[in-house]
Structure 1
Amino acid sequence: MVTVIKVLNNNVVIASHPEHDEAVLIGKGLGFGKKPGDEIAGEHAEKFFVLRDAEEQEQYKSLLAYVDESFIALMNEEIERLETTFQSSLNEHIHVGLTDHLYFAVKRLQQGHGIKNPFLRETELAYPQEYQAAVELAERFNKALGIRIPEGEIGFISLHIHSALTNRDLAQINRHTQLISELVERIENAFSLSIDREDLNYLRLVRHLNHAIERVEQENYAENQDPLLKVLQAEYPVCYNLSWKLMKIMQQRLQKKVPDAEAVYLTLHIQRLVSGEQTRT
């Protein structure tokens, strides 16, 4: 048995849980007629989650004050579906972050405002599974609410999903996506070209940059590649010099050392990408 602390709406209550201190319980009609101190049989709750951080608890409580109950129910279904899709528990903050984000995104769309996302392609390439899950979520929202969630918004949903799956801060993930976009722009400016975002070599570059940033953040450095560095310096001097400039940018943004071996991989990716683009033109 759990004891009601606060009824948030007819379907959601904050309760005292024997194992988790405070928990958010969700179930159809669960809070109807309940008062603080009343007991609820745990099996009557369709789902429960724990917001351990006091600030997050307050954010969720205030969120329920302005978000429709039907929208909360829809979001809870989608979050449960995401956990089934990825066969993994999501960081509970997604109940606050994604619900709040999507609620206001839907309101903007209903008022006729567009949504721009300059990092959409980089997000799709860096997190393909999360992006596909976001596409499917958007399709269900379209049917349920009679709207059309645009591609740009799907990119933002993907980042929320990735953040909840990896327990990484959303702001940090956004910074990494922006960093990748900046590095690609530096390559385009250096060679005065516009890279085809559908090109396979571009896909490989973005995925490499994403993994490289994660390795640097985790200080999981690549093996020494000094012999190959000298070969590439002689064979592809322009790409080689550019790779070092990109590494300096990464180092400044991440405030962590980028290993010399990264110059090998970056040089090869840049050379493949640029030679392919120049062949097409």
Structure 2
Amino acid sequence: MLAVTKILNNNVVIAHHPDYGEVVLIGKGLGFGKKPGDEIAGLEAEKFFVLKDKNEQEQHKSLLEYVDEQFVGVMNEFIDKLETRFGANLNEHIHIGLTDHLHFAVKRIENGQGIHNPFLQETELAYPQEFAVATELTEWFGNQVGIRIPPGEIGFITLHIHSALTNRDLGDINRHTQMVSELVGMIEENLKMTIDRRDMNYLRLVRHLHHAIERIQFENYVDNQDALKAVLQKEYPVCYNLAWKLMKVMQRRLKRSVPDAEAVYLTLHLQRIVDNVREIE
């Protein structure tokens, strides 16, 4: 038996576990009629989670000082639904990071402040599965808190989900998403064209840039494309030179060397976009 310490809502309860300390129990009607000090059987819960990291525990306690308990309960259900959808345990920091983020997002919406996300499309293209789940659960969340959540917020939620799924730092993911947007701007400026965001080649380019940034950051390159590089340099000099400009930006931002093989992949992606525009014209 566990001792109830807090009732967040009818479905979410914080209790004291003899081995794990503070745990969060989730289950339909679990908190109904309960009050602090009551005993509750852990088996009654459909799910419970433990914040194992001491720093995360302290941050969670701080969160409860300024975020309404009912809201925290909704967020715990939200994250439970996420883990069910992906069939994976998410990095526990999402309980603090996403709750804090959405708490202030709701406050901004209630105060009539807009939520602008200039990287929404790039985020959807880079992380389509996370974006689809975020779209679905954002509608559920909006119904729970009685507010219509604007589309731009879905992109931010997507990044939190991707961070928790991959154990990557959210700050890095944000910076990389912004970098991809800037690289696309460089491409349009250098090629003196506006890329059709609905074009499949654009989708492939954006996904490649995200994957390239990850490979460069973690130094996960094993390719050698010297033979093809010489051919592309001769056949497509404009796109080849632009590829190197993009590589220099990535190298400077990531503070990592970018293998020459990347010039081959980027040149091919860029040339496909150029060829598609010519076909349309």
Aligned to 2:146: 146
Shift, 1:3, TM fit? 6.2
State the identity as a percent: 63
SS of aligned partner of 2:24: strand
Per the alignment, do residues 256 and 125 of structure 1 end up closer, same or farther by CA in structure 2, a change over 3 Å counting?
same
Residue 272 in 1 paired to residue 279 in 2?
A: no
Aligned to 2:179: 179
- The answer (yes or no) to whether the contact 2:25–2:42 under 8 Å persists in 1 is no
Shift, 1:40, TM fit? 5.1
Residue 54 in 1 paired to residue 54 in 2?
A: yes
SS of aligned partner of 1:15: strand
Aligned to 2:83: 83
Structure 2 unaligned spans of 5+: none
CA distance in 1, matches of 2:63, 2:46: 20
CA distance in 1, matches of 2:17, 2:87: 27
TM-score, normalised via structure 1 length:
0.90
Aligned to 2:134: 134
Aligned to 1:25: 24
CA distance in 2, matches of 1:260, 1:14: 55
CA distance in 1, matches of 2:78, 2:156: 16
1:225-246: per-residue Cα shift (whole Å, max 9, x none)? 0000000000000100110111
CA distance in 1, matches of 2:256, 2:18: 42
Structure 1 unaligned spans of 5+: none
Residue 188 in 1 paired to residue 188 in 2?
A: yes
CA distance in 1, matches of 2:21, 2:211: 37
TM-score, normalised via structure 2 length:
0.90
1:43-73: per-residue Cα shift (whole Å, max 9, x none)? 2444322223322212211212222232222
Aligned to 1:105: 105
Shift, 1:255, TM fit? 1.4
Matches within 5 A, 1:158-237: 158-237=158-237
1:68-116: per-residue Cα shift (whole Å, max 9, x none)? 2322222111111111111111111111111111111112112111001
CA distance in 2, matches of 1:9, 1:48: 14
- The answer (yes or no) to whether the contact 1:3–1:15 under 8 Å persists in 2 is yes
Shift, 1:278, TM fit? 4.3
SS of aligned partner of 2:133: helix
Per the alignment, do residues 17 and 203 of structure 1 end up closer, same or farther by CA in structure 2, a change over 3 Å counting?
farther
SS of aligned partner of 2:92: coil
